[in-house]
């Protein structure tokens, strides 16, 4: 995920991604289902980060939100009917026309966007062929058994919001984690003066990251008037689950914008 100050997860459902990623300064969960929002209103009391909730149609929310470019939008809509066996999984399903409207909305957003689902001619045509989004395929185990899921992203991140997930495959992520632990141990074994020398050297190598966009236009904010913010403590989210960790990403097109 690219760095972001505001995380917007539409089609929140069980919020699997929201719960695992490192929280942003501002976190917004959107779902049209009253029962999903009621569950999260209760659940967010136990979260270590603030979560705003909006019970509204995802497209309506995205069209009304005042973006400044520093957000990350993640959409996980109900799967296209043509890509699945059971058609009655959710209280609120999505018609093909709703998928088209969602895709046409997200391609206009001025910030990084990720959308997940099963591969389909519609998603390929709109996202990959027309707008050059990158598609990443990854195996997952669901009630259907072993399936290949896809995620589409509109821009290639050069730095990551959450460095715990650096690496394209499970093996690579584990190698990077071991390296991090090794380097941390060595660093902590140094004297204070040595540490200062190493830090200075690293800062000389890498220019400081560009400042994060700080402006947040709240005036036209569609969450205004919905449930408020529960607490403001910050804490990193839990580490990757087995399911996430087994994910082996692979790029299925090389196109990027
Ligand atoms: C695939 S599930 C999301 C799964 C979720 N990412 C998770 O980790 O459990 C789809 C969700 O989309 C919601 N939904 C359906 N139609 C919607 C709409 N028009 N706007 C917003 N959310 C909608 C459903 O209520 C459901 O919670």
Query: Does the C-beta of 32 come closer than 6 Å to ligand 1?
Result: yes
Rounded to 10 degrees, the C-alpha dihedral 235/236/242/246 comes to: 160
In this structure, what token pair is assigned to residue 222? 């569609």
> How far does residue 180's CA lie from ligand 1's centre (Å)?
36
Residue 125: count other Cβ atoms within 10 Å of its Cβ.
12
| Closest to 226 measured CA to CA, from 26, 39, 52 | 52
> How far does residue 235's CA lie from ligand 1's centre (Å)?
26
Query: Does the C-beta of 111 come closer than 6 Å to ligand 1?
Result: no
Query: Does the C-beta of 58 come closer than 6 Å to ligand 1?
Result: yes
pLDDT at site 59: 98
Sheet holding 113-117, edge to edge: 52-55, 26-31, 6-10, 71-75, 113-117, 145-153, 134-142, 250-251
Residue 36 CA: nearest ligand 1 atom is 27
Q: Is 11 left (phi over 0), alpha (psi -120 to 50) or beta?
A: left
Query: Does the C-beta of 33 come closer than 6 Å to ligand 1?
Result: yes
Distance separating alpha carbons of residues 132 and 255, to the nearest angstrom: 6
Distance separating alpha carbons of residues 228 and 39, to the nearest angstrom: 15
In tens digits, what is the pLDDT along the chain, a chain of 257 residues?
A: 889 999 999 999 999 999 999 999 999 999 999 999 999 999 999 999 999 999 999 999 999 999 999 999 999 999 887 665 665 566 777 899 999 999 999 999 999 999 999 999 999 999 999 999 999 998 888 777 888 899 999 988 777 777 777 787 888 889 989 998 999 999 999 999 999 998 888 888 866 555 444 333 333 444 444 443 333 333 333 333 333 333 333 333 333 33
Domain boundaries, the chain: 6-159+211-251, 170-205
Query: Does the C-beta of 21 come closer than 6 Å to ligand 1?
Result: no
At the topology level, CATH places domain 6-159+211-251 in Rossmann fold (3.40.50)
Query: Does the C-beta of 75 come closer than 6 Å to ligand 1?
Result: no
Residue with CA closest to ligand 1 atom 26: 13
Query: Does the C-beta of 9 come closer than 6 Å to ligand 1?
Result: no
> How far does residue 94's CA lie from ligand 1's centre (Å)?
9
Distance separating alpha carbons of residues 163 and 241, to the nearest angstrom: 16
Residue 57 CA: nearest ligand 1 atom is 20
Sign of CA pseudo-dihedral 66, 68, 74, 78? positive
> How far does residue 110's CA lie from ligand 1's centre (Å)?
23
Q: Which of the listed residues 34, 60, 92, 97 should we mutate to test ligand 1's pocket, taking the one with most ligand atoms within 8 A of CB?
A: 92
> How far does residue 31's CA lie from ligand 1's centre (Å)?
6
């Amino acid at each position: 995920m690219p760095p972001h100050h505001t995380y917007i997860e539409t089609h929140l459902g069980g919020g699997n991604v929201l719960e695992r990623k490192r929280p942003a300064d501002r976190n917004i969960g959107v779902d049209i289902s009253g029962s999903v929002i009621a569950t999260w209103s209760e659940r967010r009391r136990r979260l270590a980060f603030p979560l705003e909730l909006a019970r509204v149609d995802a497209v309506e929310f995205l069209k009304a939100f005042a973006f400044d470019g520093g957000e990350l939008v993640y959409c996980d809509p109900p799967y296209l009917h043509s890509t699945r066996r059971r058609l009655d999984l959710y209280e609120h399903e999505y018609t093909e026309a709703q998928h088209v409207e969602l895709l046409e909305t997200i391609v206009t957003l001025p910030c990084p966007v990720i959308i997940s689902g099963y591969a389909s001619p519609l998603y390929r045509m709109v996202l990959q062929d027309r707008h050059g989004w990158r598609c990443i395929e990854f195996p997952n185990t669901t009630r259907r058994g072993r399936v290949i899921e896809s995620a589409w992203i509109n821009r290639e991140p050069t730095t990551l919001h959450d460095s715990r997930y650096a690496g394209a495959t499970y093996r690579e992520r584990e190698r990077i984690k071991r390296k991090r632990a090794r380097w941390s141990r060595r660093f902590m074994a140094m004297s204070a003066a040595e540490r200062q020398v190493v830090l200075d050297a690293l800062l000389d190598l890498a220019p400081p990251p560009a400042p994060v966009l700080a402006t947040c236009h709240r005036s036209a904010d569609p969450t205004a008037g919905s449930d408020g913010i529960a607490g403001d403590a910050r804490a990193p989210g839990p580490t990757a689950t087995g399911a996430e960790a087994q994910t082996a990403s692979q790029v299925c097109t090389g196109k990027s914008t």
